[in-house]
Structure 1
Amino acid sequence: MTTKVPKVKFYNGQEIPVFGLGTWKSKPGEVTQAVKDAIDIGYRHIDCAHIYGNEKEVGAAIREKIAQGVVKREDLFITSKLWNTFHRQDLVEPALRTTLADLGVENVDLYLIHWPFGYKEGGELAPTNPDGSLQFSDVDYLETWKAMESVNKKGLTKSIGVSNFNSEQLERLLKNAEIKPVVNQIECHPYLNQLKLAEFCKSKNILVTGYSPLGSPDRPWAKPGDPQLLDDAKLKELAKKYNKTPAQLVIRYQLDRGNIVIPKSVTKSRIAENFEVFDFKLAPEDIEYLNTFDCNGRICALENSRSHQYWPFNIPF
């Protein structure tokens, strides 16, 4: 009997499993097996994005597990994200339709604006100037959101949300939106605990999904000597108290704070290990203790987009 992952409700009544599989940096060729393993283990929430370049492979795994009768489509919660080069209103629906075709599904459960800023439309996914700097688009995310509302009304996605938006951007969106975002997906782990932004989202009835909960040890731009969250001696010490691994502890840290969490792995043993987090809870004082680890240790800042007017990390939260 596989463990059933608890679900939480969005304000619109749709339900999302609080725990899922992240697929960022999962290479084509590895990700199909990873998703199949995850579904066999009991995962029912898969987090995808066009920019990850592996949605076809994710789709192959989903189709296989449905064909085998392991799951039905309605058992799965599938998230995808609109990439920065498709922020123009006329590009949003075609971008989502590409994702649906790649995943082999009729709709996704959740579609997010991946970042609040756009890149130049119509070419590369990371269009650059001759000097190597990124070519930006000046499309306002409020315009993008109108098209997100449209694909939601058409039923191409059951819910819509955002990712990497700060509190001011969310506030501005809420003032102008007809349909409110259900979620803000943000980087979240003990080195970047996001307490203020999470509190803000909660006050607006927007759920938080924490990505890179393990501190993204395999991030491509990691430098030797960068602090690695899972190697933190204080974290290892606390994990011993619960007889759990540091990874299990930081995943539980998100759940006990009321966040949805999507750890990524392509290793079957780790995919299974990450799932073993529903048989314990952290004591409130240990959550408080983990909160003290915060060092503004942001890993995923997209520094090369810092000069964009909508780059979200110029304010505290």
Structure 2
Amino acid sequence: MVCIPTVSLNGCEKAMPVIGMGTSSYPPADMETAKAAILEAIKAGYRHFDTAFAYGSEKPLGQAIAQALSQGLIQSRDQLFITTKLWPAFAEPTQIVSACKMSLQNLGLEYVDMYLIHFPVRLTEMIKRTPVAEEIVRELDVKGVWEGMEECKNLGLTKGIGVSNFSCKKLHHLLSIAKIPPALNQVEMNPAWHQKQLRDFCRAKGIHITAYSPLGANNTKWGDNRIVESDVLANIANLNQKTTAQVALRWAYEQGVSLIAKSFNNDRMIQNLQIFDWELSEDHLQKINQLPQRKGFTLASILGPHQIILELDAES
């Protein structure tokens, strides 16, 4: 079994494996398919799992954890690092704790290891589809919502708290009011979107970066094939006797971030873990540094091109 390095997070009681399995799928997988894939991931050596209320994968993840314990695949829940996220419809100060408890109920767990604000925006009602109507989109009450996140940690519902899709501007504001600083910021990052400015800011502030869509989120609403069909990455992969995906994941790891890689294919799941016993050369790193840069994920691609959303997407 692959030995996966871990990273210590500020204000979090447990180290986090630097690669985790993503459980978001498009279109959404059925419960049994998701549970079976997660069990295979546990067998392969994954101990870090990323979910969210919005993904609909909290329940199959919880069922897979229970089955892994009963089958002896893991000896205790403490061997796993579980991340879930606060959906914007619950991003109201009085709803944070109850939303976290609802996710714990879905997961069948007493606590999660990391609880994140999913998006820096508020929705005033639950939705069944996207994009959403402009009238339900509101600015996030960062101070009030973060106080609710801090309460979740103080109550022991989560070991650590953080954010997702936050810009430098949003993080600067959050840090000015936080009693407990965010442990991490989960954002899109890959060889076609380096996020250097944000990485430099977070490093200076002690905030860890976790990269989602490290392979470009191909075959989703917002992703594309810039990573998986990159000639530059394919050439580097051939020279290293690796896959294009392994080169992209190794590049992210060498930038000092952790990463969330989603695959329900057993072979690719295992390949995604095989990035720790080799390095990219300086020449190959330079070639990756020269790749054209463009953001793939935007809030507007999910929630709609509303004024508040467009302003958030434009922030650096």
Place the TM-score, normalised by the shorter chain, in its bin.
over 0.9
Instruction: Give CA deviations for 1:124-168 in whole Å, capped at 9, x if unaligned.
Output: 255877xx5462134412211110000010000000000000001
Task: Find out whether 1:276 has 2:274 as its counterpart.
Answer: yes
Aligned amino acid, residue 247 of structure 1: A
- The one of 35, 39, 53 equivalent to 2:38 is 35
Once the two structures are TM-superposed, the CA of residue 54 in structure 1 deviates from its matched residue by 1.8
- Counterpart of 1:20 in structure 2 is 20
Contact kept, 8 Å, 2:253 with 2:259, in 1: the verdict is: yes
Matches within 5 A, 1:78-93: 78-93=82-97
Work out the number of aligned pairs and report it.
309
- Inter-partner Cα distance in structure 1 for 2:196 and 2:185: 13
Contact kept, 8 Å, 2:182 with 2:207, in 1: the verdict is: yes
Percent identity, aligned pairs only, is: 33
- Inter-partner Cα distance in structure 1 for 2:286 and 2:118: 30
- Inter-partner Cα distance in structure 1 for 2:87 and 2:129: 10
Task: Find out whether 1:110 has 2:114 as its counterpart.
Answer: yes
- The one of 267, 282, 288 equivalent to 1:290 is 288
Once the two structures are TM-superposed, the CA of residue 30 in structure 1 deviates from its matched residue by 1.9
TM-score (norm 2): 0.92
Once the two structures are TM-superposed, the CA of residue 299 in structure 1 deviates from its matched residue by 3.0
- The one of 249, 255, 258 equivalent to 1:257 is 255
Aligned amino acid, residue 6 of structure 2: K
Change (3 A) 1:292 1:176: same
- Counterpart of 1:70 in structure 2 is 73
Q: Which secondary structure state, in structure 2, belongs to the residue aligned with residue 157 of structure 1? A: coil
Contact kept, 8 Å, 1:128 with 1:135, in 2: the verdict is: no
Matches within 5 A, 1:1-317: 2-12=1-11, 14-25=14-25, 27-28=29-30, 29-71=32-74, 72-121=76-125, 123-124=126-127, 132-133=133-134, 135-220=136-221, 227-303=225-301, 304=304, 306-308=306-308, 311-315=311-315, 317=316
Q: Which secondary structure state, in structure 1, belongs to the residue aligned with residue 159 of structure 2? A: strand
Q: Which secondary structure state, in structure 2, belongs to the residue aligned with residue 262 of structure 1? A: strand
- Inter-partner Cα distance in structure 1 for 2:148 and 2:310: 18
Question: RMSD across aligned C-alpha pairs, in angstroms?
Answer: 1.9
Contact kept, 8 Å, 2:120 with 2:140, in 1: the verdict is: no
Change (3 A) 1:273 1:128: closer
TM-score (norm 1): 0.92
Instruction: Give CA deviations for 1:174-209 in whole Å, capped at 9, x if unaligned.
Output: 010000000000000111110110111000000000
Once the two structures are TM-superposed, the CA of residue 65 in structure 1 deviates from its matched residue by 0.4
- Inter-partner Cα distance in structure 1 for 2:15 and 2:135: 37
Instruction: Give CA deviations for 1:8-38 in whole Å, capped at 9, x if unaligned.
Output: 1012253111011011115123211111010
Q: Which secondary structure state, in structure 2, belongs to the residue aligned with residue 293 of structure 1? A: coil
Aligned amino acid, residue 106 of structure 2: D
Instruction: Give CA deviations for 1:97-134 in whole Å, capped at 9, x if unaligned.
Output: 1111111110000000001111113x3255877xx546
Q: Unpaired segments of 5 or more residues in structure 1?
A: none
Change (3 A) 1:310 1:10: farther
Higher mean Cα deviation, 30-39 or 289-298?
289-298
Q: Which secondary structure state, in structure 2, belongs to the residue aligned with residue 266 of structure 1? A: coil
- Inter-partner Cα distance in structure 1 for 2:92 and 2:295: 32
Contact kept, 8 Å, 2:222 with 2:296, in 1: the verdict is: no
- Inter-partner Cα distance in structure 2 for 1:90 and 1:125: 22
Aligned amino acid, residue 7 of structure 2: V
Contact kept, 8 Å, 2:39 with 2:68, in 1: the verdict is: yes
- Inter-partner Cα distance in structure 1 for 2:180 and 2:283: 38
